[in-house]
């Protein structure tokens, strides 16, 4: 995306230089450049969002090797799994981990994806403030719960254990 931006700026630089001597067109050049750059940034963001949604849709509709049901939203999560907050424990100074229990009554495995996205798993403290899961602490990007079984999974947060009031996963509230 930066390459496209740089190439566009170079192309418009020559136009800007040619037009710079004419005071009446300076604002037109600036407005045109602003409009083009804004459009390119919007296009890039839309392109990335479309690609991300396409990957998720492909994962959900295509067959997985283990024939798992793919979950990427709260409605499907509530429909396919039962989830409980089993415990919140200290994990060093000013850090904790929550153990969530996932139960699957289906005859197929269930895979919950995109767990590292912004609001998919958060801890809410006693003052009502949210903390996202910690990056680089072993938090999984996805989990697979075997058919007709349960799975316990740790999620790490940079918040003291005694401050955690609840954990939310894809909008589902899990209280202590």
Which domain range does residue 41 map to?
Answer: 2-61
Reported as a pLDDT band with limits 50, 70 and 90, residue 48 is low
Residue whose pair of structure tokens reads 């809410």 in the numeric block: 124
Evaluate if residue 103 carries a pLDDT over 90: yes
- Distance (Å, whole) CA 13 – CA 5: 12
The structure's pTM equals 0.67
The secondary structure of residue 133, as a DSSP letter, is B
Residue 98 neighbours by CB distance under 10 Å: 26
Question: Could you give the percent of the chain with pLDDT greater than 70?
Answer: 69
- Distance (Å, whole) CA 131 – CA 73: 19
Are residues 52 and 80 located together in one domain of the fold?
no
Count how many domains the chain has.
Answer: 2
Are residues 73 and 51 located together in one domain of the fold?
no
Are residues 164 and 85 located together in one domain of the fold?
yes
- Distance (Å, whole) CA 131 – CA 113: 19
Are residues 36 and 13 located together in one domain of the fold?
yes
Are residues 36 and 92 located together in one domain of the fold?
no
Are residues 93 and 31 located together in one domain of the fold?
no
- Distance (Å, whole) CA 22 – CA 25: 6
């Amino acid at each position: 995306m930066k390459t496209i931006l740089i190439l566009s700026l170079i192309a418009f630089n020559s136009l800007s230089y040619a037009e710079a001597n004419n005071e009446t067109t300076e604002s037109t050049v600036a407005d045109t450049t602003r409009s083009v750059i804004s459009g390119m940034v919007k296009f890039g963001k839309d392109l990335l969002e479309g690609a991300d949604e396409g990957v998720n849709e492909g994962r959900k509709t295509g067959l997985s090797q283990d024939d798992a049901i793919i979950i990427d939203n709260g409605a499907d999560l509530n429909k396919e799994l039962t989830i409980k907050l089993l415990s919140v424990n200290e994990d060093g100074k000013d850090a904790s981990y929550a153990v969530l229990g996932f139960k699957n009554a289906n005859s197929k495995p269930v895979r919950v994806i995109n767990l590292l996205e912004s609001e998919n798993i958060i801890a809410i403290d006693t003052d009502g403030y949210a903390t996202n899961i910690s990056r680089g602490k072993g938090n999984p990007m996805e989990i697979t719960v075997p058919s007709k079984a349960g799975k316990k999974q740790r999620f790490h947060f940079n918040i003291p254990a005694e401050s955690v009031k609840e954990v939310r996963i894809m909008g589902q509230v899990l209280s202590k």
